[in-house]
Structure 1
Amino acid sequence: MTHEAPSPDLEVGLMTVTTLRPGASPIATNTKTPVLDVVVPVYNEEVDLGPCVRRLHAEMARSFPYPFRITIADNASTDGTAAVARELVEELPEVVVVHLEQKGRGRALHQVWLGSDAPVLAYMDVDLSTDLAALPPLIAPLISGHSDIAIGSRLARGARVVRGPKREFISRCYNLLLRGTLATRFSDAQCGFKAIRADVAKRLLPHVVDTGWFFDTELLVLGERAGLRIHEVPVDWVDDPDSRVDIVSTAMADLRGVARLGRALATGGLPIAELRQALGRAPLESATPGVPTGLLRQLVRFAAIGVTSTLAYLLLFLLLRGGLGAQGANLVSLLVTAIANTAANRRFTFGVRGRDGAGRHQFEGLIVFGLGLALTSGSLALLHSSTDPGQVAEVAAVVGANLIATVLRFLLLRNWVFRPRTAAIPLENES
């Protein structure tokens, strides 16, 4: 199979990522084996399948300079999709079809990706909502060795998206939920435009449970926790008005997936340490010595320190209330206990020892303290603006505000102040 010379877009992409990551492990491209295998999962798409695959094939033949394959993953279609797929296989030599007996995008990707001989694997939705001009920059960092996973993002800066307000709202809320519950850093989990290196996929896929739409999120969370490099490409994306995705059932399935994944991460049910070792990534403990990775243990220790801090705060507040007034007593009591709370959580909850970073941790802890001060002072100010409260009402107000501040304090301490800073690990052939 012959191809034209490399397109300028891909050449620029390869040169750029190579400059960013000198010495990375590039994928061999001087081979007759397909360098890229693009999977198109379909279910009852007899109308759209033909135009989609022909358009995709024409674009790849024009802009992709290496051997490629397009795999149609027929998810147990009951219409004429299988017949259309067979016609495409006869018409286009780079197209193959895989028939599955059960539905599920995740199930299709799992089976096809693990069975592929291409070093780079990708998938895209059959409606081609994503502009195919984003394909070269999606693939280039994987070929060069700069990244392990690449995702199209409709929420990254530079993306241009045309879709209704309901879908936009749901998408943004879902990704905010992932950031708040699973501490993710990627911007768009569900865009149907992703790629992964095959060697990485073979390590991750056996641990990905979901067979439906949550497959993408689970793969990305697992990859991120395993220390993989995830490259994001802003995409031009136009919503398909004829999309058959059931938003309500998909959203409920995603929420169940988030809860399941959160429990597995909290209880150590996922083999993150083993994955990091298998993928050649540093153990989390080595990034910040002594930092425990278990959420459950951190919660227990944080709660114990929180109870002690709250009792100390209340004692100081009551002792200082007469001389400094409610706001003054709140300020001093919260400041003293915040400093002690940060030091105790640094040592016992997050296991950070030594003086390295202590100043930064206390400074960031004081910023978190400012949030608690705003909540408690605001509650007192609101209380005094509406009535002339007694001491019991004041204590009830500051305790309630402190409970809210405590939850926010834990999230900020875990995901910001004491978040492990994983150092970059050089690849085997790097000097």
Structure 2
Amino acid sequence: MPVRRRLSSRWLARASALLALVVLPAAHAGYFNWDMVELPPESGASCGNGTPYRFFVNRTPLNHNVSLTFEGGGACWDQDACEGKGPYSASNPNGIPPDYMHSLQTMAAGGLVTPFTSRLDPFQKVRTQDWTMVYLPYCTGDVHAGSKVSVYDDVDPSAPRVQHHAGLANIRAAASWLRSNLGRADDLLVGGFSAGGVGSTVNYATVRDTLAPKGKSTLLADSGPLFNAPRASTTSSTQYPSLPLHQKIRPAWGLDEPGGMIPRLAARLPALDVNNLGSLNTGLARAYPQDRFGYLAFETDNVFSGFSYLDFHPEVHASDPEVQKQLVNQLWRTDLANWLPTLAAEANVDYHVPFFRDFNDAHCLSIVDFSGTGVEELGVASVLPFFDNLMDRGPVQRNYETDQVSDLSQTLSPIIQLLNWLENLFV
């Protein structure tokens, strides 16, 4: 769910200094500018600290296609994490400022965090860069999925954190605003990275039904997998390593409560098993058979896996960091092995799972650029042809790296090489 502690403050500071050299001055109104939308309190929308939820729209007159990106970054169910303290804590604990998309000191980095939110990206071209782009910041600590106000006082009872897990209301209100102000989309792309990968998946039905695209609708969920984790007396965390995490977040974020994510989705998706969050992937594919669903992940993701298991599997803790990574990755591989066959069972679901890239602890394929995201043994140079095939409705692709050496030598782009060098320089 996190993006290595929001790409890490060290990485972001060095990246911002470099990216400042290529960011174009912002316009002040109309097209090709990130316009801020502040949702009213009566919509139920809110950041975690109770301040207004704001999102951003970059319009184009060239077409009526719309691309939405859900931001990633941590999650919380205790006081420290909701206040932004700790390696996997919630992003933007103090809310979203009006100039969020015009600052290089935020995770969005002026839109350059991903090619899907950069109109004139200097590193990577994607077809949706001439679409209307929507950026949905993340400030609720609930992977854009919660619907509960919680009071956390486990660290400092004298100054408790009142946390508005309002992710679900934020996206519902944002989608309603977009429909009222943009009308029906032609083609629609719903995507996100890390926690936003989860958020794009759990909110896909809401966004898709509200915007009611006239043409194609597509999901591209990057490195935020909802793994299978059945709640049953016959299942265990050994079989399904994400089960303890899912058991934790369901009550913490109000997922099962009236009006929560699970009841709302169950009403829309007949194939959803309310006792298994991972069944959402199947539920979406069957409810929208004309749509395409693409899922991305690295086999060696060291961030989402750490978030998913370190608090719940004491057996993976080790004094040697490399040994700990190996133990954590074993659980990740178990979850992947349970997840991928359920995706492959649906005729409109694609996945792309390379082995590794030496950037951001092999977490997220779509941030900064697509270098190092290929599956060489299948002749797939990067995630870009996978994405193009998904959008073009080509033959379903199920790309999985079995050669676990080749990607170690994949060439990263000069920008990522430079960012890695800068990060290592200032360790």
TM-score, length-normalised on structure 2? 0.26
TM-score of the pair, normalised by structure 1: 0.26
Q: Which has a greater percent of helix?
A: 1
